[in-house]
Structure 1
Amino acid sequence: MAGKKFDRGSQDVGNILALEHVNVRIPDQALATLFYVVGLGLTRDPYLMVGLENMWANAGQQQFHLPTAAPQVLRGCVGLVVPDLEALQARLGSVRDKLAGTRFDYAVENKHVAVTCPWGNRIRCHAPAPEFGDLTLGIPYVEFPVEAGCAKGIAAFYRTVFKAPATVTPDGGGALARVQVGVRQELVFRETREALPPYDGHHIAIYIADFSGPHRWLAERGLVTEESSDIQYRFTEIVDPESARPLFTIEHEVRCATHPMYLRPLINRNPAQRQATYVRGRDAFVPGLS
């Protein structure tokens, strides 16, 4: 039947279904609670990792994983959408004194709040906006600095290996690669002339539909670093798919769509709730109401 014509390709997601979590080790769970839960307003997962050896901090449908060990610092920054930037600033101000002597800091910069965790991880906090769709709480992107000349090869890697939509655009004197890793989620690779800090083992986790195809490609080139289980594997090096030249190091925890934790419902609280101003029925975070 004749009708309107639509660009069906505009709704493609690609083989990477979701970016689920960012994992950085932290040495002090009390300070991590002050920062991630009290300051950022996130929610400690009440069901898993409830001891002192790890904390999973829920941010919408994504998480920060924070195992207890020597601190790791992500090379780049994590994008985080929160419902209210003014409320965020008030919360961050409330923990400043208790985080004195750490690397904690925050500042308003060009419509976002740039936040640094007690160990140096950078989080760029945004208000909900059209570029994030209907997201009001979550992680829409992780951005990494990469060496000059690497963006094109990185985009080609994700297109070739993971069949993920990826673009390369000019960015100042270099280039910027954007890789779609879910519904309105991206990995961003921005070229820089500055020296990159050494990689310390932090990782990201993704879910993919075609689980075996990327594994086959990576295994044939000796790039699989961990055969975790029948539903998960890991790799660390992003390489040029034609020359095999290493382009960037970041461990990917790769999970299949049949993984029992895929699309696991996450508990998110309303950080505006206070005992003195308690409102019935507003304990949980509900988009548009909290």
Structure 2
Amino acid sequence: MPPQNLWDRSAESLGNVVELQHVNLQVPDPLLATAFYISALGLTRDPYLMTGIDNMWANAGISQFHLPTGRAQVLRGTVGLMLPDRAQLLHRLDRARRWLSGTRFAFAEAEDHVAVTCPWGNRMRCHAPDAERFGRVTLGIPYVEFDVAPGTLGGLARFYEQIVGAPAAIMDGTLQVRVAREQYLAFRETDTPQPEFDGHHIQLAFVDFGGVHRKLSERGLISREDSEHQYRFTRLVDPEDGRLLFEVEHEIRSTTHPLFARPLVNRNAAISNTRYAPGHEATHWAMPPA
């Protein structure tokens, strides 16, 4: 007699996508970007890569923001951020007003998050750790949510399921696409007119790197061939009729990419020169064992 199965095995299936590593947004002023992403949000500048003045990688748990210098890019939606301490976040945001006044920087408290706008208009929803909702993560990017046109969720679900190989489900009017263990893309329909796509991108890693490339190529959807480990696509279409549904650049890496699952340094943003304790400089991006 086979052993009794006590678990829902499908709940542990990630599908083809195993990493949401970064959100890439150009910023016109790296000094303001430092004031916002590092000082106000409490993230950590990558100490090893992109350490010059024309690009900055800001670590958030196992994910990053990539912030090359250039014309401002604004994501058509909202980035979800998990930050360890809401009270400390509000303190840092309040102090950052001195550097960010005269920009679009703003923040407001809501019941389950703090809504924050970056100096150039990017919206972020900052959550406190919540194991039931987001898993055992204390610092990271649990989701990226996009505003899309009415009538597109079904086609977007088919695109990610049939072409990308990612589990997708529509819940409470929002499409959620699982792209890593505790990360997802979300798509929410809106009647609000959206600006033209300005070139920002997200980066995912695929297990079936070549299989998805073949499906995209057959439909003429590959937008750039970067290297043996990386390609890109931008147009999301309905597999049933080829109708264009949304545009956002996807930088796709293989699991053999040299940067796949690279360990990232994350500082304890509560530590300062006047509030210091030896051995507490670093922070953990996940909760301890239950």
Q: TM-score range by the shorter chain?
A: over 0.9
Identity %: 53
Other structure's SS at 1:235 match: strand
Written as runs of structure 1 = structure 2, the 5 A alignment for 1:1-290 is 1-129=2-130, 130-171=132-173, 176-286=174-284, 287=286
Q: How far apart in 2 are the matches of 1:6 and 1:62?
A: 29
Cα offset, 1:169, TM superposition? 3.2
Q: How far apart in 1 are the matches of 2:274 and 2:145?
A: 39
Letter of the structure 2 residue corresponding to residue 107 of structure 1: A
Residue range with higher mean Cα deviation, 5-14 or 242-251:
5-14
Cα offset, 1:37, TM superposition? 0.3
Letter of the structure 1 residue corresponding to residue 153 of structure 2: A
Cα offset, 1:137, TM superposition? 0.2
Q: How far apart in 1 are the matches of 2:287 and 2:202?
A: 29
Q: How far apart in 1 are the matches of 2:96 and 2:230?
A: 37
Other structure's SS at 2:241 match: coil
TM (normalized to structure 2)?
0.96
How many residues in Structure 1 have an aligned counterpart in Structure 2? 285
Asked if the contact 2:17–2:206 (Cα under 8 Å) also holds between the matched residues in 1, the reply is yes
Other structure's SS at 2:216 match: helix
Other structure's SS at 2:260 match: coil
Q: How far apart in 2 are the matches of 1:215 and 1:208?
A: 10
Cα offset, 1:254, TM superposition? 0.4
Cα offset, 1:110, TM superposition? 2.2
Cα offset, 1:258, TM superposition? 0.6
Cα offset, 1:4, TM superposition? 4.3
Cα offset, 1:5, TM superposition? 2.7
Consecutive unaligned residues in structure 1, runs of 5 or more: none
CA RMSD of aligned residues (A): 1.1
Asked if the contact 2:136–2:287 (Cα under 8 Å) also holds between the matched residues in 1, the reply is no
Letter of the structure 1 residue corresponding to residue 147 of structure 2: P
TM (normalized to structure 1)?
0.96
Letter of the structure 2 residue corresponding to residue 150 of structure 1: T
Other structure's SS at 1:270 match: coil
1:231-279: CA deviation from partner (whole Å, max 9, x where unpaired)? 0000000000110000000000000001011110000000111111210
Cα offset, 1:170, TM superposition? 4.5
Q: How far apart in 2 are the matches of 1:158 and 1:42?
A: 30
Asked if the contact 2:205–2:252 (Cα under 8 Å) also holds between the matched residues in 1, the reply is yes
1:92-141: CA deviation from partner (whole Å, max 9, x where unpaired)? 11111210000000000121000000000011000000211110000000
Q: How far apart in 1 are the matches of 2:24 and 2:228?
A: 21
1:41-76: CA deviation from partner (whole Å, max 9, x where unpaired)? 000000000001100000000000000001000000
Cα 1:288–1:237 shift into 2, 3 Å: closer
Asked if the contact 2:137–2:287 (Cα under 8 Å) also holds between the matched residues in 1, the reply is no
Q: How far apart in 2 are the matches of 1:229 and 1:250?
A: 20
Cα offset, 1:288, TM superposition? 5.6
